[in-house]
Structure 1
Amino acid sequence: MTNSEKIVITLIAHGSKLSAELVQQLSRDIENTLRCQIKDTKPLSDRALDIYLEDVVSSTVEETRGLLSPFIEANSEIVDIIVQRNDQYRKNKKVVVFDMDSTLIYQEVIELIAAYADVEPQVKAITDRAMNNEIDFKESLRERVALLEGLKIDTLYDEIKGKLKITKGVHELCKVLSAEGSKLAVLSGGFIQFASFIAKELKFDVAKANTLEMDTEGKLTGKVLGDIVDGQCKAETLLELCEKYQCPVEASCMVGDGGNDLPAMSVAGFGIAWNAKPRVQKAAPCRLNTDSLRDALYIFGYTDSEIESIISKGN
């Protein structure tokens, strides 16, 4: 294995301490499956642990991940198992891009809007299919927005913004990344009024999302203005941001939950599926199914003491 393909496997327990018994069991499974030896381990917290390998038979991270996929699936209810390159880009993230709905915030904004138009069940059904990559995102957005035609939205923006709940751990995650020099962006298949609001709340550098068309009375026409921010747009924008900020693509990361986040994950240096739909979890470079997005910092290699030190310096 080349130096650039050295591997680290991170274990992150869901909600409780990472037991010694589970670590021993998974360590045996890893060594037997990969026909290698564990060179070293490094505790990141009482819930997270890095495992460093040597003499791995598989030649790439992707192959190693594939070999371990049965164990990743079998243990997915209690622990996340993340396989990635152990290189200079793991911790040195320069561009980190986030989806908004069900990632940075708990809700799907279009469903909040739909509730005012009494079409929430219909919109939610289409959203679920789109996020699971079952239907084209552009078409799903057009179908959902069409259901909102006639809603007087201009007076509802502030009311809906007041209902948005930022996901647990996001503030800490973003504080650390910003303090470490990362440029942060929200690329959303939702709507720009809300993406800009969340970007301001979290002190992001970039916000990009869709624009709902309104008539002269402030009512929705059932259409979206301009090009739709879909998966391809997110991927292209991520690469543009890497160029803008002179960031090696390897030092970028995409975090999201839906099928329209997969294209950006595929072009980024790394991708994290956050409590994602089943098909997305299987296709993404890694999955994170804990209750706090702060745990992404373990994926990047930060220990609890490092996290707390960086946050305290910024306060």
Structure 2
Amino acid sequence: MTNPESNIVLTCIAHGATIDNATIFKSINGILQNQINESTVIDTKTLSVRAFDIYIHTMIPVSALKTLFVFEDVDVIVQHNDVYRQNKKLFVFDMDSTLIYQEVIELIASYANVEDQVREITNRAMNNEIDFKESLRERVKLLTGLRIDTLYDKIKLQLRITNGVKELCQFLKVKGCKLAVLSGGFIQFATFIKDQLEFDFAKANLLEMDSNGNLTGNVLGEIVDGQCKADTLKQLCKEYNVKIEESCMVGDGGNDLPAMGTAGFGIAWNAKPKVQEVAPCKLNTDSLRDVLYILGYTDDEIKSTTTTTTTTI
């Protein structure tokens, strides 16, 4: 492992095309020297023209360190420099606004002319301002009477996979990772995305329909909220014989925070401000492929892995 004597690694990832290593390093080093006297910079490692690692040794907890480094166009991810950083065996993703750009319930709501009302409730739920279960019930009630069975295929055609998702997932599968989507949305779409990305598992909510194919305004079975996501992540770890430390959760909303806290590591992807404040780390770039920098992989390593896969196929 690179720099085994360091116990913390800071991964700096630029939102733009390049990163000014020297300036960012100087700023971080200044913060460390001014506020954490026992911190010692061990070394740096270039991951790409947009990302690099800084290895440090300190007794200060990661939770305290991650609040110190705030840059306008650069994310600084703070984590333990241990064997689990790269040794991930389970990645769990939220779906709406994470694996895909849209919120599916808002696409459905547009057919019922209640998109604005649904969006307002969704935003409050993602900001952790209201209970997710209650928010889902409120939104689904607004869809009562909508003929949904004929809309599934239309809406699936509108779904757009987030930039970098396919490359990230291809790489993780080559490394032997199990992949899962846990969605507070609906199972028809979560299963569709699972199949598109060749995931191992999908879990989401089921809308109740009457005999005519119209929505009743109810959700059947257990609602997939934050606690359900966390519990399911733990169940998947047991099923796949994966240590919790070898798991990672990626999401954007308040209902993803319990699973982020349960997993070995959690990544808030272009999340709501309140979620970014409390998540293990935040990533605000335009490609989910950048998660591989958080894991410590260089561009050369990423290219080598994906090129080998393509050649083999």
TM-score by length of 2: 0.95
Which of 13, 33, 36 in structure 1 is aligned with 2:35?
Answer: 33
- Aligned residue for 2:69, secondary structure, equals helix
Runs of 4+ residues deviating >4 angstroms: none
TM-aligned CA distance change 1:112 to 1:282, over 3 Å: same
Greater CA deviation, 129-138 or 13-22? 13-22
Which of 71, 91, 94 in structure 1 is aligned with 2:69?
Answer: 71
Distance 1:146 1:307 in 2: 45
Q: Which residue does 1:129 correspond to in 2?
A: 124
Q: Percent identity?
A: 64
- Aligned residue for 1:276, secondary structure, equals coil
Q: What does 1:1-315 correspond to in 2, within 5 Å? A: 6-19=7-20, 20-35=22-37, 36-54=39-57, 56-58=58-60, 60-65=61-66, 69-72=67-70, 75=71, 77-315=72-310
- Aligned residue for 1:71, secondary structure, equals coil
Structure 2: 5+ residue stretches without partners: none
Which amino acid is the alignment partner of residue 309 of structure 1?
A: S
Does the CA-based 8 Å contact 2:75-2:284 persist in structure 1? Answer: yes
- Aligned residue for 1:44, secondary structure, equals strand
Q: For residues 172-212 of structure 1, what are the alpha-carbon distances to aligned partners after superposition, in whole Å with 9 as ceiling and x for unaligned? A: 00001110011000000000000000010101000000001
Distance 1:5 1:120 in 2: 50
Which amino acid is the alignment partner of residue 69 of structure 2?
A: F
Distance 2:186 2:265 in 1: 25
Q: For residues 102-159 of structure 1, what are the alpha-carbon distances to aligned partners after superposition, in whole Å with 9 as ceiling and x for unaligned? A: 0000000000000000000000000000000000000000000000001001011000
Which amino acid is the alignment partner of residue 46 of structure 1?
A: V
TM-aligned CA distance change 1:100 to 1:5, over 3 Å: farther
Distance 1:155 1:294 in 2: 34
Does the CA-based 8 Å contact 2:97-2:252 persist in structure 1? Answer: yes
Q: CA deviation at 1:25?
A: 2.0
Structure 1: 5+ residue stretches without partners: none
Q: CA deviation at 1:5?
A: 8.5
TM-score by length of 1: 0.94
Aligned length: 305
Q: For residues 4-52 of structure 1, what are the alpha-carbon distances to aligned partners after superposition, in whole Å with 9 as ceiling and x for unaligned? A: 9811111001112111223322232233322222110000001111100
Q: CA deviation at 1:71?
A: 2.6
Does the CA-based 8 Å contact 2:146-2:215 persist in structure 1? Answer: yes
What is the RMSD computed on CA atoms of the aligned residues? 1.3
Greater CA deviation, 13-22 or 113-122? 13-22
Which amino acid is the alignment partner of residue 210 of structure 2?
A: D
Greater CA deviation, 271-280 or 11-20? 11-20
